[in-house]
DNA sequence: CGGGAAGTTGAAGAGCGTCAAAAGTAGTGG
DNA sequence: CCACTACTTTTGACGCTCTTCAACTTCCCG
């Protein structure tokens, strides 16, 4: 709860990504995730206009950002940390539909409400854009809309990959696919690929892969035993023989 | 945000959803699925320009439209019939990531290649747009881009719902959810909701829901036995007590 | 009609879930 | 600094759902 206690390890780029709330010089210029985010398509001048409607949000682990069914008033851009988005069934069964990291956006909804809930895993920093105001900017900057479409299109491809995983892969293939995908996304953010950072707990991994915590744990143990991975302190996982892992992920 | 003022013409003569390829008067004006498709946002004048770059494609059941990994040169719009899109694992396991009907588009890819394969289930008619030419038009008609984003956003929400299904629902819930979703989509296309048309075979349903044909068949039988559905000739399914089915789909 | 694909049904088994308990880890406060 | 608590992770035993393999039936379409 105490904001001075937050864990700096996960705050890649928070310092630089912090936005002022006042009308001072566009904080976006200094944003470390600008090249990853949906604002990447804008020049400095346009970015300034975008920064005028934005406000900063910070969350501590476990904080909800919004819940499924809430009016979708904002679109968000993660600038630091890790989040999960999920859907629930009435009896409590949960499917995590995605993990979000720096550069990812969330809140897209052309229904008037959010289709999923979002919650912080680590300490998180976000840019928040009121949809109504953002829509006006979108009309002015078609480039922004194009970039959004491009990112949505990427997400769609990722969703399809995830459906393949959920529908047709076994536990081992699921876990290995998951680790490889985390590694690849880290690379895209300019981070190291190999000791891959796994900030989420077993339950979250299970709810993402359609497994139980126990099965996730057992599968990790099994992969460890067959020397395909090793678990490092601090939630890091060392991948041995990426090539071999890529085969395992596809059932070869 | 959704500029949805399309002129609704009652053109239920689905026979002539097909377009000639000649430079004659815009065939889009007579298109029966225009209000559903991504071109819904355009006025007659703009539609004319769109129709200039389009060509018609027809497929018979089983015909492939494109395969995963192929260069993504075209974007398609289904004007009639039913298709399936799917991904394969090296050993042949298949996940159908979606069924497409009149009004749906496919081929979105900002990678240079298709992320999935597409194949006709029934006889199918499509509009085909060369991506390069379409991109030029998109710059001209931001409305078109907005509409695409809106549709992609809808697809994203549907994907998340499907992940919930694949990861957390049991066979019975999966089948019932599937039937209800087919019914709802039929309504959106202006068709009857209740005897729902199920044009795909058991294997396809299984590969869509992460089940085997046998389980699909057994579950249909079980639903039939408990009088929740009845199977009509011609691949139609009669839904009894939609409300009750809605509960079953969510595990209540 | 006849042949092949699609659908149904049965029996057996595997993989993953469930329940339970122990061991490890982290944050809190005396 | 250490003990206390709550949570996370791991491991074990068992059971259930869905898969697998196989045979049979039904449905088309030439």
Report the range of poorest mean pLDDT among A7-11, A72-76, A238-242.
A7-11
pTM over the 0.75 mark:
yes
CA angle B33, A144, B160 (to 5 degrees): 55
The answer, for B143 touching chain A at a CB cutoff of 8 Å, is no
A178 and A209 Cβ atoms separated by less than 8 Å: yes
| Per-residue confidence band for A189, with pLDDT thresholds at 50, 70 and 90 | very high
| Per-residue confidence band for A248, with pLDDT thresholds at 50, 70 and 90 | very high
Interface subset of A 164-183, CB within 8 angstroms of B: 164, 166-169
**Nearest chain B Cα to A136, which residue?**
B1
In Å, what is the separation between the CA of A147 and the C1' of D17? Answer: 44
Do the chains contact at B166 and A167, CB–CB below 8 Å? Answer: yes
* Distance between B13 CA and the closest CA of chain A, angstroms: 30
DSSP output for chain B: -------------GGGG----SSSS-GGGG-TTTTTSGGGG--HHHHHHHHHT-EEEEE-TT-EEE-TTSB--EEEEEEES-EEEEEE-TTS-EEEEEEE-TT-EE---SSSB-SSEEEESS-EEEEEEEHHHHHHHHHH-HHHHHHHHHHHHHHHHHHHHHHHHHHH--HHHHHHHHHHHHHHHHHHTT--SSSEE--S-HHHHHHHHT--HHHHHHHHHHHHHTTSEEEETTTEEEES-HHHHHHHHTT-
| Of A179 and B12, more confident | A179
Cα separation of A177 and A246, whole Å? 8
Do the chains contact at A251 and B91, CB–CB below 8 Å? Answer: yes
Nucleotide nearest to A224 (CA to C1'): D10
A159: pLDDT strictly greater than 50? yes
Mean pLDDT over A149-177 rounds to 97
pLDDT over 70, % of chain A: 90
**Nearest chain A Cα to B143, which residue?**
A139
What length is written for chain B? Answer: 252
* Nucleotides on chain C within 7 angstroms of protein Cβ: 6-11, 15-20, 26-28
B8: pLDDT strictly greater than 80? no
Average pLDDT of chain A? 90
Q: Each residue of B155-204: pLDDT tens digit?
A: 999 999 999 999 999 999 999 999 999 999 999 999 999 999 999 999 99
Cα separation of A74 and A32, whole Å? 22
Provide, as residue numbers in chain B, all residues whose Cβ is less than 8 Å from the Cβ of A208. 167
Cα separation of A245 and A239, whole Å? 8
Provide, as residue numbers in chain B, all residues whose Cβ is less than 8 Å from the Cβ of A154. 110
Q: What is the dihedral of CA B70, B71, B77, B79, to 10 degrees?
A: -50
| Per-residue confidence band for A25, with pLDDT thresholds at 50, 70 and 90 | low
In Å, what is the separation between the CA of B201 and the C1' of D28? Answer: 14
B73: pLDDT strictly greater than 90? yes
B110: pLDDT strictly greater than 90? no
Whether any strand C atom is under 7 angstroms from the Cβ of B201: the reply reads: yes
């Amino acid at each position: 709860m105490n904001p001075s206690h937050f864990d700096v390890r996960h705050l890649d780029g928070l310092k630089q990504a912090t936005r002022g709330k006042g009308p001072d010089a566009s904080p976006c210029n200094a944003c470390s995730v600008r090249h990853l985010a949906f604002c990447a398509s804008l020049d400095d001048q346009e970015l300034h206009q975008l920064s005028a409607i934005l406000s900063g949000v910070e969350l501590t682990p476990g904080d909800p950002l919004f819940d499924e069914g809430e009016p979708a008033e904002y679109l968000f851009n993660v600038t630091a940390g890790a989040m999960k988005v999920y859907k629930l069934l009435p009896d409590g069964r949960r499917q995590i539909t995605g993990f979000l990291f720096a550069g990812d956006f969330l809140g897209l909804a052309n229904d008037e409400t959010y289709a999923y809930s979002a919650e912080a895993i680590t300490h998180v920093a976000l840019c928040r854009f009121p949809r109504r105001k953002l829509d006006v900017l979108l009309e002015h900057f078609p480039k922004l809309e194009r970039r959004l479409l491009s990112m949505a299109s990427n997400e769609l491809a990722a969703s399809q990959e995830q459906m393949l995983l959920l529908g047709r892969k076994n536990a081992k293939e699921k876990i290995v696919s998951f680790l490889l995908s985390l590694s690849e996304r880290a690379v895209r953010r300019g981070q190291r690929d190999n000791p891959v950072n796994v900030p989420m707990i077993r339950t979250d991994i299970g709810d993402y892969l359609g497994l139980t915590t126990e099965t996730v744990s057992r599968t990790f143990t099994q992969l460890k035993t067959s020397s395909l991975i090793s678990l490092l302190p601090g939630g890091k996982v060392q991948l041995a023989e990426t090539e071999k892992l890529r085969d395992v992920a596809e059932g070869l």
